[in-house]
Structure 1
Amino acid sequence: MQTLQDMERKLKSADDLHTVVRTMKSLAAVSIRQYEDATRSLDRYFESVEMGLRAALRTHPLVGNQKEPHKTLIIVFGSDQGMAGRFNEAIVEFVQAARHEMKIKDDRLLTWVIGAKAHGLMEDTIGKVNQFFSLPPSAEGISPKVQQILLLLAEIRKKHGELRLILFHNHPAGGSSYTQHRVNLLPPDQKWLKDLGGRQWVDRQIPLYTLPWEELFGALIGEYLFVAFFRAFASSMAAENAARLASMQRAEKNIEETKEELTRTFHTLRQNTISEELFDVISGFEALSETSEDSR
């Protein structure tokens, strides 16, 4: 049978847990804003990259000149930490469906995974993971991580030739919800390139460049990849915190309901204890009264 001391300990534990959950809720909300701001900070930079590509493609249209890649590299963004609901399960299921749709043979597929939780799930459900990366601890750590991946990507492209590169990540959908995104990075989208090269220039002065065209175009595609990877990191990490926020909201609701139940039980138990003590006092008083009357 539970005692008042047991109930007090349970209520204190519930209060402590409630405090932790509220703190994690606040941290998740702040982190969402941090990563969304990081994504928006690249918008102007990406406009500059697009302008450079427009200038390069004015005289060197690429449409129809690209070879079919022999290998496909998929990069899956997950999380390193838990308490985010089905965040990792959702993206892995999305990858499974896309892989089935693309019908890629195992000997032509390379798989990279970002995030320890997603890494384990990918190995369990899809098979071998060729490369694993941990997530950066904050928005400031995204750029170095992207540079690390791009350097390794350059080595893989030298080894296997041009790749089909596809990113899979969760994306915030407002509030504490998120959706799954697939981004086809390489080869660059033909329609996009044609549209860029065919746009009218922004002013009367035609752009000039002194670098060899292939070197210029390669550098611009490298910057395009940097922006795309940075956005994927920031979007995925914002979505992770949105998922964690939703989990903490559910946990907070459950804790509050548990606290209410524990409080009711505590009050009932305390009232019963008080009633029993009163009955004991009354019974003792009556017994003493009867003894006094008998002695007379």
Structure 2
Amino acid sequence: MNDSIESLSRKIGSASDLQSVVRTMKALAASSIGQYEKSLSALADYYRTVELGLGACFRESERTAAMPQQKASTPAGGIHAVVFGSDQGLVGQFNDAVADYAIKSLKTQPGKLKVWAVGERVHGRLADAGAPLSGLFTVPNSVEAIAPLVGEIQIASEAHRDENNEVGLWVFHNRPLHGALYQPVGQRLLPLDAQWRRGLTEIPWPTSNLPEAMGDGHATLRALVREYLFISLFRACAESLASENASRLAAMQRADKNITDLLERTRGAYHLLRQSKIDEELFDVIAGFDALVEPRRTRS
């Protein structure tokens, strides 16, 4: 056997230390998934409230007329896209999946394109594909850090928008499925889709007292649209983070299993080699004893 007892002992120690790190990362990933899933659950109620408010505004014809009717043509201000990825590795094909999906989807969108990446890993993947990158944002490490990030994204998008032109806004991210599975998805947030607006007007009001917009209905509608954009970006970020941690958890589980198998094999080899060394020493002792006793037996 090529390995010595000392080298096998070092391998066992290194693998045990690595397994401790992997299990710590597993615990952190599982904890993070929980907080992002809770934030998505809480966000659903708020999103429902915003939908009801938008539907109430759109139902009033004079308020709806205040909103410019969007056409199927390309927005004159071009296309802005936000792609959510990760800053860290150990997530498998997480960044490749969302980057490839975004690139493929945006190829069908005519007009000048500007892309913002959330995460260094997906930023590098988009850069390699030749995407027209306009900025890079750091991936938030907690639910509390998502809102400031969304504000930064909105400010960056507004700074690159021509006041006289409408801008198309797309968001791409990975959405969690069952277990560690996820799928890349994309959503057009702007311009507002006419079919989507009609769908909101068909949502029944939960009480018999129909709502009425107070004051400037146009200002109310614009405020609700801003909240809709904020919620959509917040939800995309939270779903991306939940998918990232689920993917990392699955990777850490596979790594933990591989390390456990490696430790079993290495420890088995270590014990076998150690027992072999003990047997050799015992044979040497017995052989030495026989060598000392044999002359006496001969003389006797």
TM-score, normalising length: structure 2: 0.91
What are the equivalent positions in structure 2 for 1:45-60 lying under 5 Å apart? Answer: 45-59=46-60, 60=63
The match for 1:104 among 90, 106, 110 is 110
User: What is aligned with 1:41?
Assistant: 42
Aligned equivalents of 2:230, 2:3: Cα separation in 1: 60
The match for 1:152 among 156, 166, 180 is 156
- Could you say if the C-alpha distance between residues 228 and 23 of structure 1 is closer, same or farther in structure 2, counting changes exceeding 3 Å? same
The match for 2:85 among 63, 71, 78 is 78
Amino acid at match of 1:171: R
Note the C-alpha offset of 1:174.
1.7
Aligned equivalents of 1:47, 1:120: Cα separation in 2: 36
Aligned equivalents of 2:90, 2:42: Cα separation in 1: 28
User: What is aligned with 2:8?
Assistant: 7
Amino acid at match of 1:228: S
Aligned equivalents of 1:277, 1:199: Cα separation in 2: 85
Note the C-alpha offset of 1:205.
3.2
Note the C-alpha offset of 1:294.
6.5
Note the C-alpha offset of 1:103.
4.7
Instruction: Give the number of equivalent residue pairs.
Output: 293
How big is each residue's C-alpha offset from its partner over 1:215-248, in whole Å with a ceiling of 9 and x where there is no partner?
Answer: 2221111000010011001000000000001101
8 Å contact 1:176–1:243 — kept in the other structure?
yes
Moved more, 241-250 or 192-201: 192-201
Aligned equivalents of 2:197, 2:180: Cα separation in 1: 35
Aligned equivalents of 1:238, 1:133: Cα separation in 2: 18
User: What is aligned with 1:287?
Assistant: 291
Structure 2 residue ranges without an equivalent (≥5):
none
- Could you say if the C-alpha distance between residues 284 and 199 of structure 1 is closer, same or farther in structure 2, counting changes exceeding 3 Å? closer
Amino acid at match of 1:72: I
Aligned equivalents of 1:90, 1:152: Cα separation in 2: 25
RMSD of aligned alpha carbons: 2.0
Aligned equivalents of 1:156, 1:223: Cα separation in 2: 20
User: What is aligned with 2:20?
Assistant: 19
The match for 1:244 among 245, 248, 271 is 248
Percent identity between the two aligned chains: 40
How big is each residue's C-alpha offset from its partner over 1:19-46, in whole Å with a ceiling of 9 and x where there is no partner?
Answer: 2111111111111111010111111211
How big is each residue's C-alpha offset from its partner over 1:112-135, in whole Å with a ceiling of 9 and x where there is no partner?
Answer: 100111111110123331111001
Q: Does 1:93 align with 2:94?
A: no
What are the equivalent positions in structure 2 for 1:111-122 lying under 5 Å apart? Answer: 111-122=115-126
User: What is aligned with 2:226?
Assistant: 222
Amino acid at match of 1:61: T
Note the C-alpha offset of 1:55.
1.9
Partner secondary structure for residue 174 of structure 2: strand
Partner secondary structure for residue 35 of structure 2: helix
Structure 1 residue ranges without an equivalent (≥5):
none
What are the equivalent positions in structure 2 for 1:113-262 lying under 5 Å apart? Answer: 113-158=117-162, 161-262=165-266
8 Å contact 1:61–1:194 — kept in the other structure?
no
Aligned equivalents of 1:284, 1:291: Cα separation in 2: 12
Q: Does 1:61 align with 2:64?
A: yes
